[in-house]
Amino acid sequence: MAAVEIDNVSKRYVGNKKEVRAVEGVDLAIAEQELVTLVGPSGCGKTTLLRLIAGLEEPDRGHIRIGGHDVTRLPPKNRDIAMVFQNHALYPHMTVFQNMAFGLKARRIPRAEIKRGVAAAATTLGIEGLLDRKPAELSGGERQRVAVGRAIVRLPRAFLLDEPLCNLDAKLRERMRAEIKSLQRELATAMLYVTHDQEEAMALGDRVVVMRKGEIQQCGAPLDVYRRPANRFVAGFVGAPSMNFLEGRLAGGRGVARFRCGLGDWELPPEVGASLGDWQDEPAVLGIRPEHVHLSESRESGSSPTARMEVRVVEHVGDSTLVHLRTSSEIAIIARVPGVSDIRVGECAEISPRLADAHFFEVGTAGCRLY
């Protein structure tokens, strides 16, 4: 039995005359003990979906089950979930202990039990020394821990976290991210974690759910989503720098396929051609990740095609170098070269995309995957 099951749930808001489809036909099941990350651009419906699960919004359509029980029409307090909000405002006039105890007190849980619960949660999070302080006397990371502590003082059926780390600086965010992951393992409770940061989603989730305009685009293990994005939107959203896209035309049949674009007329490797099937000069988009674009000053022997491009920007990011290239017709490609490259802006380079690692999509911002 899944901890949380969302079955064809939709939610629309009517703003000033315009209807917003915040969540549209979403199906999702989160297993017991599973950590699922929900990622997508701002406004794609992530918060709305969490609020629907928590019972803070009522769906127009569909059902929500928690621990096998239909909770679609139940108030939040009867749903056995705990939520950490995006702006985890702590009560400023209360101590850390009082903040953490607040939810339990509201539930009329005996004092001794509250004390035990808060102490245990504080120990888990390493904030047992801060219980008498007020929020103003805490650092950002400590406040964050208290906000999480408020959620874990009791063991709910599922945790819902809405961009809990978005107010922290990058270093602290990385550390808290690792802490949340090990905390989730320790508590062994289902968690749905919302973020707009694809890297955070990939690093944290057992499974990643990618949303766009209220709809789920893809749901899968992080590496599966990375390696086989379901459409062009997911392909461009997951991975940094983004996948390169080249508009062109696919042609071929009987196992031999070609892709023609502004950079050349390329024969595709046999395995790619075989999977693509028959194509009669159809428009398509080739996607290739920066790490699959190789650079050479001279033509390499081998089957990869090449194209000459000018180096416009070079970024040294430590373990690799990001080289931004352009043609005179303004076709842009980013290549990730391992190690420290001595290539310079203004130079010309031969790029060679490893076509065996290329992806093909239908045209359009969310064009479906062809291969």
Chain residues that interact with Mg ion, rule: CB under 5 A: 47
Both tokens of residue 231?
Answer: 């459409």
Cβ 50 to ligand ADP shortest distance, Å: 8
Non-local CB neighbours of 65 within 8 Å, separated by 6+ positions: 2, 4, 5, 7, 71
* Helix residue ranges per DSSP H, 126-197: 140-152, 170-187
Cβ 208 to ligand ADP shortest distance, Å: 15
Which CB atom, from 45 or from 353, has the smaller least distance to ligand ADP? 45
Which CB atom, from 47 or from 306, has the smaller least distance to Mg ion? 47
Binding piece for ligand ADP, criterion CB under 6 A, among 39-47, 104-112, 113-121, 229-237:
39-47
Non-local CB neighbours of 174 within 8 Å, separated by 6+ positions: none
Binding piece for ligand ADP, criterion CB under 6 A, among 37-45, 224-232, 315-323, 325-333:
37-45
Q: Site residues for ligand ADP, window 300-329 (CB under 6 A)?
A: none
Chain centre to alpha carbon of residue 266: 33
Which CB atom, from 45 or from 222, has the smaller least distance to ligand ADP? 45
| Beta strand spans in the chain (E) | 4-14, 19-30, 35-39, 61-66, 69-70, 81-84, 158-162, 190-195, 207-212, 215-220, 244-253, 256-261, 264-267, 279-288, 293-296, 307-316, 320-326, 332-338, 348-353, 359-361
Binding piece for ligand ADP, criterion CB under 6 A, among 15-23, 77-85, 180-188, 225-233:
15-23
Cβ 86 to Mg ion shortest distance, Å: 6
Q: Beta 61-66 vs 293-296: how paired, if at all?
A: unpaired
Report in angstroms the alpha-carbon separations of 345 from 120, 198, 319, 324, 364. 57, 29, 19, 9, 32
When binding is defined by CB under 6 A, the residue of 17, 19, 42, 318 that contacts ligand ADP is: 42
**Do 337 and 290 form a contact (C-beta atoms < 8 A)?**
no
Which single residue brings its beta carbon nearest to Mg ion? 47
Cβ 47 to Mg ion shortest distance, Å: 3
| Spatial distance between the Cα atoms of 113 and 97, rounded to a whole number of angstroms | 13
Q: Examine residue 45 and tell whether it contacts ligand ADP (CB under 6 A).
A: yes
Cβ 156 to Mg ion shortest distance, Å: 21
Binding piece for ligand ADP, criterion CB under 6 A, among 25-33, 42-50, 231-239, 331-339:
42-50
Which CB atom, from 67 or from 164, has the smaller least distance to ligand ADP? 164
Binding piece for ligand ADP, criterion CB under 6 A, among 38-46, 151-159, 169-177, 285-293:
38-46
Non-local CB neighbours of 171 within 8 Å, separated by 6+ positions: none
Residue 45 contacts which entry, Mg ion, ligand ADP, none (Cβ below 5-8 A, type-dependent): ligand ADP
Residue 42 contacts which entry, Mg ion, ligand ADP, none (Cβ below 5-8 A, type-dependent): ligand ADP
Instruction: Give the position of tokens 């315009």.
Output: 18
| Spatial distance between the Cα atoms of 71 and 290, rounded to a whole number of angstroms | 45
Beta bridge partners of 64: 6
Q: Examine residue 22 and tell whether it contacts ligand ADP (CB under 6 A).
A: yes
| DSSP category for residue 89 | P
Residue 325 contacts which entry, Mg ion, ligand ADP, none (Cβ below 5-8 A, type-dependent): none
Q: Examine residue 207 and tell whether it contacts ligand ADP (CB under 6 A).
A: no
- Nearest residue to 329 via CA among 300, 309, 313: 309
When binding is defined by CB under 6 A, the residue of 2, 10, 20, 370 that contacts ligand ADP is: 20
Number of residues that bind ligand ADP (CB under 6 A): 12
The 3-state DSSP composition of the chain as helix, strand, coil percent (nearest 5) reads: 30, 35, 35
Q: Examine residue 46 and tell whether it contacts ligand ADP (CB under 6 A).
A: yes
* Helix residue ranges per DSSP H, 126-269: 140-152, 170-187, 198-204, 222-227, 232-237
Cβ 20 to ligand ADP shortest distance, Å: 5
Residue 20 contacts which entry, ligand ADP, Mg ion, none (Cβ below 5-8 A, type-dependent): ligand ADP
Which CB atom, from 47 or from 99, has the smaller least distance to ligand ADP? 47
Instruction: Give the position of tokens 């989503």.
Output: 225
List residues near ligand ADP by CB under 6 A.
Answer: 13, 15, 20, 22, 40, 42-48
